[in-house]
Chains A and B, each alone.
Chain A
Amino acid sequence: MTAVESLNAADVANWIRRAAELVAADTERLTRLDAAIGDGDHGHNLDRGFRAAVAALPDDAPPGRTLIAAGRAVVSKTGGASGPLYGTALRRAGKALGDAADVDAAAFGTALRAALEGVQDLGKAVEGDKTMVDALAPAAAAYEAALGDGADLAGCARAAADAAARGAEATIPMQARKGRASYLGPRSVGHMDPGACSTGLVLRALAEIVGGTG
């Protein structure tokens, strides 16, 4: 595969498929992370959700509607808090893309920002709360910064994926202020937030698809 300059519906579908593969491969790790500070189901829930998203991918729909369909499946099948959060992220991103047949780097940046805003509207988390926002917010910012520097879609996506991975690492010393982990107070320190970790995987999948390495 070669790098793509814009995303069509097939690219977006491949992104969801690759994200599902990465989540499936890391299911046990995500669940272990969640067992440390959460309720120990994140990996299996998200694996189920993304499998459902892959099964729900429409045959003939523009990128935006493809993401909305994936998001709806994630909401319906995931079962934990990550269902509404990831589902909202995908659906808001899909809505931001409208019915465009091709999504360029700038349009995808708008969708990524919309996904972040959707997650924050729903979960009310801010950066530093030790949640997926700690990966998604720096990812959106890094994507926009790369875009401003003239990077192509692959460069922007790589910047977002790298920032998400760093953001996930940065949750380790944080004390959780949302979700079950927040009940632990200082005992939530020292563990990576599983939602931030899985957000890193989903953006890594994007970087692989647009970079031609997926």
Chain B
Amino acid sequence: MVGIVIIAHSRTLAEGAAEVARAMGVGKAVVEPAGGALDGGLGTSIDLVEAAVAAADDGDGVVLVADLGSSVLTARMLIEDTDGENVLLADAPLVEGAVAAASMAATGADLTAVHAAAEAAYDHRKTR
């Protein structure tokens, strides 16, 4: 199954988004949080992200959902380092993208479909 990694500046933000996404993935989707800096404070840690990707990847690939700034840059850098074949960053809002990705991943869809579902989260508008 395609795994999902939530990269956010805060540990609790990543864990919270992962909690919601797992619930929407009806207990099947594998959603790993990678939040905050190594010391537990705010920030981004490529070491935490690498560990989360390793935990989320069962061979079918991983979709990364990031909040902003260094989260996005760290995700892009990790993909560059891993040659990018099996790990994709979704251009998506954090919670919505994570929920969409987890919902699609739970169906057994492939990496391309889960990534597309996360990016389609932008289309779900809130005031119109």
A14 to B44, CA, bound (A): 28
Q: B residues near A, CB below 8 A? A: 37-38, 41, 43-47, 69-70, 73-74, 76-77, 80
B43 A79 Cβ-Cβ under 8 A? yes
Contact status of A80 and B44, CB under 8 A, knowing A179-B69, A180-B69: yes
For B77, the chain A residues whose CB sits under 8 A away are 75, 84, 87-88, 122
Nearest-Cβ distance from residue A204 to partner chain B, whole angstroms: 24
Judge whether B46 and A80 touch: CB under 8 Å.
no
Residue of B nearest to A41 (CB): B43
Cα-based distance from A123 to B69 in the complex (angstroms): 9
| A83 within 8 Å of B (CB atoms) | yes
Interface residues in A91-130 (C-beta closer than 8 Å to B): 122-123
- Within 8 Å by CB of B46, from A45, A76, A85, A179, lies A76
The answer to whether A123 touches B73 (Cβ under 8 A) is yes
Contact of A80 with B70 in the complex, beta carbons under 8 Å: yes
Q: Is A61 an interface residue (CB 8 A)?
A: no
Query: Are A79 and B73 in contact, with the CB atoms below 8 A?
Result: no
A81: Cβ under 8 A from any B Cβ: yes
CA distance A76 to B47 in the complex (A): 7
Nearest-Cβ distance from residue B39 to partner chain A, whole angstroms: 8
Which residues of B lie under 8 Å from residue A83 when comparing CB positions?
44, 46, 70, 73-74
The total of chain A residues at the interface (CB under 8 A) is: 18
Residues from chain B with Cβ under 8 Å of A41 in the complex? 43
Q: Which residues of A contact B (CB under 8 A)?
A: 41, 45, 75-77, 79-85, 87-88, 122-123, 179-180
Cα–Cα, bound, A83→B74 (Å)? 8
A-B contact pairs, 14 of them (CB 8 A): A45-B43, A75-B74, A75-B77, A76-B46, A79-B37, A79-B41, A79-B44, A80-B43, A81-B70, A82-B70, A83-B44, A84-B70, A84-B76, A87-B77
Determine how close the nearest CB of chain A comes to the CB of B53; give it in whole angstroms.
15
A84 to B77, CA, bound (A): 7
* Seed contacts A84-B73, A84-B76; 7 additional CB < 8 Å A-B pairs: A41-B43, A79-B41, A79-B43, A80-B43, A80-B44, A83-B46, A83-B73
Closest to A124 in B: B76
Chain A neighbourhood of B76, CB < 8 A:
84, 122
Chain A residue numbers with a CB within 8 Å of B73 are 81, 83-85, 122-123
Closest residue of chain A to B68 (Cβ to Cβ) is: A180
A84 touches B43 (CB 8 A): no
Q: Which residues of B contact A85 (CB under 8 A)?
A: 73
CB-CB under 8 A from B70, the residues of chain A are 79-84
Give A87's nearest chain B residue, CB to CB.
Answer: B77
Among residues of A, the one whose C-beta sits closest to the C-beta of B50 is A76
CB-CB nearest in chain A for B36: A79
Name the A residues within 8 Å of B47 (CB-CB): 76
Query: Given the complex of chains A and B, what is the CA–CA distance between A41 and B43 in angstroms?
Result: 10
Chain B residues, CB < 8 A from A75: 46, 74, 77
Among B38, B77, B80: residue with most chain A CB under 10 A: B77
CB-CB under 8 A from B80, the residues of chain A are 122
